[in-house]
Amino acid sequence: MSKIKKSRTLFSSFLLIVAAFIWGTTFVAQKEGLEQIGNFTFLALRSYLAVVFLTPVSLFIYKNNKKHIGDGEHGEHKTFISKKLLLGGVLCGTSVCMASLVQQYGIMYSGVGKSGFLTTLYILIVPILGVFLKRKIKPILWVCVVIATCGMYFLCVTETGGITIGDFLLIMCAFLFAVQIMIVDHFVKTLDGVRLSLVQFAVAAVISTIGMFLFEEVDPVAIGDAWFSIFYAGVLSSGIAFTLQVVAQKNLNPTVASLIMSLESVFAALAGAFFGERLTPNEIVGCALVFAAIILAQVPVENLLKKRVE
């Protein structure tokens, strides 16, 4: 791996860690917001906020890039929204919309701890989907997936009992997020990540708005009471964190990316501790295992073994 590629990989990993931190702290805001307004309403408003935030940012980047590449190069960049970008945005937006809705309903039926664990099961689903897509997965990454999954179990699962309807919904949510990760990985190699994220949330906003008017009663007073939760989830979680994910995945293996993003469970536990919740011994072990898996995924084990053999 060249120094330039290595630096890009490390920087992309850092961006995903920031995204995971935002997502981990968003669990609290999301839970509080859903106590005030409906699921479709919450998702619609946070998606619209993300669109408002991303529109000027994507326009600035588009105009700046156009000055450098000109109008006659890179066909996918000649227009602000190309056909391929629209297709990728529709697929990403549909999957992230469905995943978010299912997650919100799941949180209502399951505990927050169990929700965090089951949602981040996408770290196991992503490499499995990769196998079906005939992608080569390094053995060390499978080891990291197992370690991280065990870590999230210790970190998040504190309740006992069988699988509930909430658990089933959260497992479905994990699958949908895994699909979104794979779709992003496919399109972001040739498309601008910020514009892809913009279209993604525009699609999510439209879908959730339809659901909002069909199934929920829009209460302006309740929306006003939930404004901070909507703002945090819309600007930070959707607008910034999901965009960081899309941009960072351009330089990362999707399995490695999913491992890093699973840090949201660790940050959720640390955020709880900051607000007065003490970390149990199991949670401390879980944090340590997830961090170990992330670090191990970044270590060039194969290169080290080759050097030792030589």
Q: Which residues of the chain have pLDDT under 50?
A: 69-74, 304-305, 308-309
- The tokens describing 56, both together, are 């000027």
**Is residue 1 domain-resident?**
no
Q: Give the pLDDT confidence of 51-109 residue by residue, as tens digits.
A: 999 999 899 888 877 655 444 444 555 688 889 999 999 999 999 999 999 988 887 77
Q: What per-residue confidence (pLDDT) applies to 138?
A: 78
Q: What per-residue confidence (pLDDT) applies to 72?
A: 40
Residue environment code for 88-123, b if the CB has 16+ CB neighbours within 10 A, otherwise e:
bbbbbbbbbbbbbbbbbbbbeebbbbbbbbbbbbbb
**Is residue 58 domain-resident?**
yes
What's the CA gap between 180 and 174, in Å, rounded?
10
DSSP 116: H
What's the CA gap between 150 and 286, in Å, rounded?
7
The Cβ-side half-sphere exposure at 4, using a 13 Å CA radius, reads 0
* Domains contained in the chain, number: 1
Nearest residue to 294 (alpha-carbon basis) of 173, 147, 104 = 147
**Is residue 95 domain-resident?**
yes
Residue environment code for 5-40, b if the CB has 16+ CB neighbours within 10 A, otherwise e:
eeebbeebbebbbebbbbbbbbbbbbeebbebbbbb
Q: What per-residue confidence (pLDDT) applies to 113?
A: 61
**Is residue 2 domain-resident?**
no
Domain that holds residue 150: 7-309
**Is residue 221 domain-resident?**
yes
H/E run at residue 97: helix 83-109
Q: What per-residue confidence (pLDDT) applies to 118?
A: 75
**Is residue 149 domain-resident?**
yes
**Is residue 45 domain-resident?**
yes
What's the CA gap between 77 and 90, in Å, rounded?
18
| 286, burial (CB in 10 Å: exposed 0-12, middle 13-18, buried 19+) | buried
- Cα first-last separation, the chain: 18
Q: What per-residue confidence (pLDDT) applies to 73?
A: 41
